[in-house]
Structures are given as structure tokens and as C-alpha cells.
Structure 1
Amino acid sequence: MSSASTNPPWNVARPPRAEGSTFLVTGGNAGIGYFVAEQLSASGATVVLGSRSPAKAETAMASIRARVPGARLRAVRLDLADLSTLRPAVESLEVDRLDAVVHNAGVALDDPPRRETGEGHELMFGTNHLGHFALTRWLMPLLSAAPAARVVTMGSFAAKSERLDLADLQSRKDYRPKRTYARSKLAQMYFCLELDRRLRAAGSTVASVLVHPGGALDSLTPARPPVHVRTAGARLGAAPAALLVQGKHAGAWPAVRAVLDPAVRGGEMWEPRVFGLRGEPRRAPVWNHLTDTRVATRLWDASRDLTGVDPGPQH
């Protein structure tokens, strides 16, 4: 109650200032991640774009600078599908603390066949969940060095109707791309909440916050050429959908609020206000199946075994 009265109303167009802070956005070169980076850069913070492609990161940074005068931007090469590269990537940040990371990058495959990372993990589960699980391990010392850092995980509305198959996390027995993607995002969401429980139990200053973008379509997203080009036909065709869903610029709002709003707390879930699909960000009840700590603990243990690291508070 008190936090609501002491903090000004949230304005998506005018985020609070955050000079001196450093934020990392995985997949910050395209899609929702690009808009998270663009909006966070308007706070005055240094924003680091994590991207597999240095060239795409440069293009994205040029686009942000054209819209945010004086934006403080950096890029780091980050390939979440290759776990062996994550520790060197974090070391290349060359910062003594990190105030927030937005776990946004993701792979979505539309068609079979099933694909694997170099380490033999199913590509979507291996990138979206295991990659961020392992990355958090290497970021934790930098996050712990900040006064009140946040790990913000970008879930997906698609995960609401899914359940994890703990006996087939890698979809070896039954691979269906849309379901495997949704389950990889569900795994991320379980991880986010379990991470916060472990941080709280350890008395850590780091908070883990869950967000999802609702329904975010390219066709409703404002143009950011050459990062995102929207045709007139796509804009007209998407007009009816705008009653239910939104563009990726608005899909970024919950993550930006989770990073910058002092009233946000660890273990919370933030989503678009209207049916969880569109509108300004609001705090929402955590979905019932995500509160199952038994599933979360078993997933954590399996992820630790698959990656060889534990991202919990370091002792």
C-alpha cells in the first residue's frame, strides 16, 4: 500500500531516470527486445544489447540513437545456444556491477524437424531456458554487487495453457514446435520464480521478476527501419486485431516497468492490463500452475544437471 502512495503513477511514455545504472537485454537487437532496449535507454542508463550478431546489434544501436539523443549503448556477442561461450561473454562486459538483466532472447521454430544445440539440447529449450539459466550463474556476482539488481524474465502468454513434461523436457518423445516453444517459455517462468525464492531465502539484494508481453504482433509494431519495416498492407490487415492485441513496442512495457519501477517486487508477475493481452502493464496474480514449487525444484535440478552450473545465490 505504501509503495503505491510514495511512487508517482506509472507513465509508459516517461520512464523514471536511471543514470549510472547498467542494464543488459538479451536479444536486444530485434523484436520486443529491441523496444525494451530503446525504452530503457531513454532512462539515461547504459543499455547493453546481447546479440548473436554484432552487425545486427550495431544496426539496432544506430536506430535507438536516432530516436534517443545521447543514448548510452553497448553490445556484447551472446549466443545462448552455446553454453561454453556465456562466461567469456559476461567477462567481456568489463563492468563491476549490473543493475538488471532482461532475459528476453528466444528462438521459435515454426516447423519440424527437431533441432539441437551443439551440446545436444533441443534448440528452443536449450536456448530459451537453459541458456538463460546458465547466463544467470555468470551474471550473479555482478548483480549481487549492485544495490538492488533485478533479473527480469520474459515469459509468454502461450505458456498459460501448457504444462511441463518433466520426463521429456527436451521433447525427444513427442516434438511439436509450437508446444515445445510454449514449454520452453514455461520453463523460463518456473525458473524465474524459483530463483526469487532462493534469493529471498539467502537474504540476497537481487530480485527476480516475471513479465510477459501479452499478444505482440509485428503488424501492429511501429516501423524502425531497417530493424523493423512495416508495410501499409500489413498495417491495414492488422487493424481488427488491435482490439485484442498490440505491437511489440507495447509488449516491451511490462519488462521496462519491472526494471525501473521502484514499487516492483521479486516474485511478482507483470502483464498487459486488458485480459493479459494488451494495454499498460499491471501486476497480475501468478498463474496457478506456476506456483507448484515441486515442479520448479525438479526443473531446477534437471537444468543444473544439464548445464553443469547453479545460478542460485553464490556461497
Structure 2
Amino acid sequence: MPSTSSTPPWNVHRLPRADGSVFLVTGGNAGIGYFVAEQLSETGATVVIGSRNPARAEVATASIRARVPGARVRAVRLDLADLSSLATVVESLGVERLDAVVHNAGVALDDPPRRETADGHELMFGTNHLGHFALTRWLMPLLAAAPAARVVTMGSFAAKSERLDLDDLQSRNDYRPKRTYGRSKLAQMYFGVELDRCLRAAGSTVASVVVHPGGALDSLTPSRPPVHVRTTGARLGAAPAALLVQGKHAGAWPAVRAVLDPAVLGGQLWEPRVFGLRGEPRREPVWNHLTDTAVAARLWEASCDLTGADLGTIL
């Protein structure tokens, strides 16, 4: 007899309902984060877009409402580059629990000079990693109040070939923008893996999952005017690249699955199916360098010192 299962195969175009759930997507006003928010809105959940730019967030929420009838989507101001502002986020959310947060927001700089956050941290490391590290500390009571909440960290394929310099986390001695970006995303992924280890040790109901979007290009991304407009020329010019990479709507799929799929477990890594660059999401063994607990512990300690956010006291 053929085997039967109560859980149907995962379908990125037919997401399960999540009515009553509340999800926060950082940087949900543009890029991959926008499509994470749009797709999660299709499930009936309340989706909150965290953005440092209220005007852009309002444009994104209007776009989602226009495409998803009855969408429960709204925005809160969230500036990950200003650590002192993060304590107010919980109050501005106005909810009693949070079922998932997608740590998606990020800064990517292509050229020097080196820039810093309001707190004096290198901008990419300070925003992409330290901002999300501190935000998690403030969100943890809301996450713990949910039955089985998830922290989903959006890493990057660029982090696979990088290694952290624990003596120069801020790239003060040797600043190369692309490498600094890759290392900031690697730090995020280390944090996501280490967070789950700490949550399990504490007996928490919260799980932490790491994902990455593969290769996600604007030119392969469907238009969502005025959030994103793809010209015919860009679409035609990018056609050959579609053999290897994908659009940002597809780059959102691993994060969306990590939020919704009960088969996804804490401590796992999910990525696009084809060479980690394109296709539907699948589980991938955690990269070898991400399993280095000594590096993870040193990064965690440094992150506590740099942010003043001691996560260990509230897990």
C-alpha cells in the first residue's frame, strides 16, 4: 500500500494557513524582505514590516494590500543601526506574543569608505549582525509567549567562503566592503546556530533556523510597482542568468518555509535546491565552519559586550 502522510508536500505557491499568528519581518519594505512579507500575508497571519523608513514601509504595505485581499499587514519603525532605539520596538508592536521574526534587513556596501552606525560600529556588521542580536534580546519575551515561535535568520551564500576575524570584527584594520559584508552575514548565521543551541539548553519552546536566499537578482524579480519595477530590457538581459540564479520572490522561499513548515526544526539550515543558488527550498547540512562552537561562543561574548544585550539572562 502506498504510504500516506497527514503533511502534504511543501508547495511554495500553496502556503498553509496561519490565521491568528503574528510575524515580524525586518527590512520588509524592499527586496527579499518585501516578498517574505507578501507571501506570509497570504496565509492570513498578521505581518508587521520593520523598517527605518516609514514612507517606504507605507508604500510596501499598500502594495501587499493591493495584491493580497484582506491582508493584515502594517509597519513599525525599526532602525537596526541605532541600538538605543530597539527597546521601544516591543511596545510599538502592540502584541502579546510573536510567532516568528525574520531577521532579513541588511546593508550591503560595494565601495569604501568604511562607515559606522550611530553607536560607532562598522555599518554592515553593526546593522546586519549586532542590530539583530540586540533586537532578539528585546523580542524574546514575546517569542517565548507563543506556543512554538521561530527566529529565522537570513544569511547569505556569500558567507560560505568567508571566515570571521575575531580580532577585527569591525574591519578597522582591513576594510574591504564585499568581504566585510560576507563576514557580517556569516556572523548572523553563527548567531542563528548558536542561539538555537542556547534555546535548547534552556528548554525553550522557541527555535532558531538559518536560511539563505541563494542568488537573487532584481532583474529576475517580478515587478511590484512602485516597490520594484523591472523593465523589459532588464528582464531580457537577465534571461541567461536564470539558469543559475533567481529573482527575489524566490529568494524569499527558504525564509517563508522556515516560518511556516512544522517539519523545519531549530538549528537547521535551509537554502535553494539547485546548488544553493536557485529553486525551491531544501534542508542543507550546516556548513562545517558554522559548527565551530568555540568561534560561536567568542562571537556571542563579543556581541554581548558591543551591544550591552545579554541574551543569556532571558533565555
TM-score, with length taken from structure 2: 0.98
Q: Which runs of 4+ in 1 moved over 6 A?
A: none
Q: Calculate the aligned-residue CA RMSD, in Å.
A: 0.9
In structure 2, what is the Cα distance between the partners aligned to 1:63 and 1:235? 21
In structure 2, what is the Cα distance between the partners aligned to 1:147 and 1:179? 39
In structure 2, what is the Cα distance between the partners aligned to 1:79 and 1:273? 32
Q: Deviations over 1:117-153 (max 9, x none)?
A: 1111000000000000000000000000000000000
Letter in 1 for 2:185: K
Do the aligned partners of residues 198 and 62 (structure 1) sit closer, same or farther apart at CA in structure 2, a change above 3 Å counting?
same
Three-state SS of the structure 1 residue aligned to 2:152 is: strand
In structure 1, what is the Cα distance between the partners aligned to 2:299 and 2:171? 14
In structure 1, what is the Cα distance between the partners aligned to 2:313 and 2:223? 41
Counterpart contact for 1:98–1:146, Cα < 8 Å: yes
Three-state SS of the structure 1 residue aligned to 2:93 is: coil
Letter in 2 for 1:211: V
In structure 2, what is the Cα distance between the partners aligned to 1:131 and 1:292? 23
Deviation at 1:90, TM superposition (A): 2.0
In structure 2, what is the Cα distance between the partners aligned to 1:5 and 1:243? 33
Unmatched tracts of structure 1, length 5 or more:
none
In structure 1, what is the Cα distance between the partners aligned to 2:292 and 2:234? 41
Letter in 1 for 2:43: S
- Equivalent position of 1:206 in the other structure: 206
Q: Deviations over 1:240-287 (max 9, x none)?
A: 000000000000000000000011100000000000000000011111
Q: Deviations over 1:156-181 (max 9, x none)?
A: 00000000000000000000000000
Deviation at 1:312, TM superposition (A): 3.7
Aligned: 1:188 with 2:178:
no
- Equivalent position of 2:310 in the other structure: 310
- Equivalent position of 1:84 in the other structure: 84
Do the aligned partners of residues 146 and 311 (structure 1) sit closer, same or farther apart at CA in structure 2, a change above 3 Å counting?
same
Deviation at 1:314, TM superposition (A): 1.2
Deviation at 1:5, TM superposition (A): 3.8
In structure 1, what is the Cα distance between the partners aligned to 2:71 and 2:301? 40
In structure 1, what is the Cα distance between the partners aligned to 2:277 and 2:106? 19
- Equivalent position of 2:64 in the other structure: 64
- Equivalent position of 1:254 in the other structure: 254
Deviation at 1:313, TM superposition (A): 6.1
Give me the identity figure in percent: 85
Letter in 1 for 2:47: V
Once the two structures are overlaid, the 10-residue window that deviates more, 302-311 or 134-143, is 302-311
Three-state SS of the structure 1 residue aligned to 2:282 is: strand
Deviation at 1:291, TM superposition (A): 0.4
In structure 2, what is the Cα distance between the partners aligned to 1:66 and 1:91? 28
Deviation at 1:311, TM superposition (A): 2.4
Deviation at 1:6, TM superposition (A): 3.5
Aligned positions of 1:48-59 closer than 5 A: 48-59=48-59
- Equivalent position of 1:145 in the other structure: 145
Letter in 2 for 1:298: R
Unmatched tracts of structure 2, length 5 or more:
none
Aligned: 1:290 with 2:290:
yes
- Equivalent position of 2:102 in the other structure: 102
In structure 2, what is the Cα distance between the partners aligned to 1:66 and 1:80? 28
Letter in 2 for 1:156: S
- Equivalent position of 1:233 in the other structure: 233
